[in-house]
Amino acid sequence: MSACSDSPAKVLTVHAWQVIVTASCARRDLYDLRTNAVIPQTIRPWLSSLGTTSGGESLWITDVPNTHRITVAVASGRVVVLPRMEPTHAAQRRSAEDFFAALWEQLARYAG
Amino acid sequence: MAIDEKSIVEAVSGLGFKGNEEGLIPAFGLHLTTHFADYYNRSSFAVARAMEGSGLEDDARALLVEAGHICAFNTFGGIMKSAEWDAVVAPMIKTREDWLHGIVAVINAFGWGKWHIERLDPGVELKIRIENSYECTGWLRDYPVSKFARCYLATGGVAGLMNLMYVGDITTRPELTEAYYVELFRGGDAFHAVETSCMARGDAHCELKAAKS
Amino acid sequence: MGARLQAVVDRIRTQSKGLPNIDLARLNLRTGQPLSRLANEIPDDPTLVRSAEAFADEVLGFRKSGGRA
């Protein structure tokens, strides 16, 4: 279990999104995006292609081995990336940034 | 009450939580672990037993319960801020008190004993009954019936729930910083819990009551 | 008897950054003596005083503990 308090959040900008980055005393940050729009079911196959998936209609989880776990709350449009601890902070951030950039493209393609 | 515990337990169970290649379970915005309950039990009980008769038993108990406060703040607080919570529990929430019923359902999904809210007087008192608390189950297997209550972590957890809800306001998704912890748990307004019944003492189940002191 | 130990207890009680009772419980376990309750009855043994003062410095933020970074 998490046993220590998080530090105040910072922001990662990806296109027009402001992803909230909460630093932890554990060796990983948490990336939290609130799109405030329902995530379309049409992007689920793309998400599934990134790793191992679980969850039902309202909650999708994609685990990308050695990289991070992506959690999607479909109705609220919230997307959270929880990095693995092994990569450096810089590598964690790069992976999260790449993912959110790709998600932006996917949403633009299917929601537009 | 709008919370459907059965569907929460099913949803959480269906997520297939298991350790990744780092041995951790990244879920609910936290890193959880799977290990034997006895790993915690034997560590905490060894501390408590070593202190008994030394004049320091109350200090040991206070610190073991404090570990429960910190666990409640980070773990329960983290769960209630998570995307999983948004997807599975939040749609059922109709009242402020549903937040507490929701987190108890998640606790039960994780298998930390079978928790049940016996009484909730908002902002005043919370009484929780626990069947098969893992702390007591471990105690009774390894040691004789105790003179003292033994659910240290649960005691801190129950107080923690009230502090997150009614001293702070977890419904506004605050940052779980050390300063916020101090504000919630260390002010004169904080809730404290006592274990009024405990299986380790020979009672049929455990019962914990959190109130302001 | 125990004047220096009592001073450490008073310092933690009044300057604690959080719940003084928790910090005092930690002091008691760290030193192995119920200082928060009996400091003025326990002799000011130099080793015990040093240990209590070091803990007070640590818990009041004057010195980092050797714990997790």
Show the domains of chain B with their CATH numbers: 5-212 (3.30.1380.20)
In this predicted structure, the answer to whether residue A3 has a pLDDT above a threshold of 80 is no
Whether C65 is in a domain gets the answer no
What is the C-alpha to C-alpha distance for residues A18 and B72, in angstroms, rounded to an integer?
29
- Model pLDDT, residue A2: 38
Whether C17 is in a domain gets the answer yes
For the packed helices B152-162 and B134-142, what is the interaxial angle rounded to 10 degrees?
170
Whether C31 is in a domain gets the answer yes
Question: Tokens representing A33?
Answer: 């995006």
Domain hosting C43: range is 3-59
Average confidence (pLDDT) over B59-82: 95
Kindly state whether A78 is in contact with chain B, defined as any CB-CB distance less than 8 angstroms. yes
Q: Do C19 and B58 touch (CB under 8 A)?
A: no
What is the C-alpha to C-alpha distance for residues C16 and B155, in angstroms, rounded to an integer?
23
Say which of A54, A58, A76 has its CB closest to residue B16. Answer: A54
Is there a contact between A66 and A92 (Cβ–Cβ < 8 Å)?
no
Q: What is the value of ipTM here, to two decimals?
A: 0.89
**Chains touching chain B at 3 or more Cβ pairs under 8 angstroms?**
A, C
Within 8 A of C13 by CB-CB distance, chain B residues are none
Average confidence (pLDDT) over B160-180: 95
Say which of B63, B182, B186 has its CB closest to residue C29. Answer: B63
What is the C-alpha to C-alpha distance for residues A105 and A99, in angstroms, rounded to an integer?
10
- Count the domains in chain C: 1
Helices assigned H by DSSP within B34-74: 37-51, 57-71
The residue length of chain A stands at 112
- Model pLDDT, residue C33: 94
The single-letter code of the amino acid at C45 is: D
Average confidence (pLDDT) over B82-94: 96
Average pLDDT across chain B, whole number? 93
Whether C35 is in a domain gets the answer yes
In this predicted structure, the answer to whether residue B69 has a pLDDT above a threshold of 70 is yes
Average confidence (pLDDT) over C21-49: 94
Whether C20 is in a domain gets the answer yes
Whether C64 is in a domain gets the answer no
Kindly state whether B186 is in contact with chain C, defined as any CB-CB distance less than 8 angstroms. yes
Q: Do B63 and C19 touch (CB under 8 A)?
A: no
Whether C8 is in a domain gets the answer yes
For residue B170, count other CB atoms closer than 10 A to its CB: 23
What is the C-alpha to C-alpha distance for residues C57 and B68, in angstroms, rounded to an integer?
25
- Identify the residue among C13, C16, C19 best suited for mutation to test binding to B, counting B beta carbons within 10 A and taking the highest: C19
In percent, the amount of chain C with pLDDT more than 90 equals 68
**Interstrand relation of A52-55 and A59-64 (parallel, antiparallel or unpaired):** antiparallel
Question: Tokens representing B51?
Answer: 């202190």
Q: Do A6 and B33 touch (CB under 8 A)?
A: no
Whether C69 is in a domain gets the answer no
- Identify the residue among C29, C36, C41 best suited for mutation to test binding to B, counting B beta carbons within 10 A and taking the highest: C29
In this predicted structure, the answer to whether residue A6 has a pLDDT above a threshold of 70 is no
In percent, the amount of chain A with pLDDT more than 90 equals 78
Residue that the structure tokens 């260390």 belong to = B186
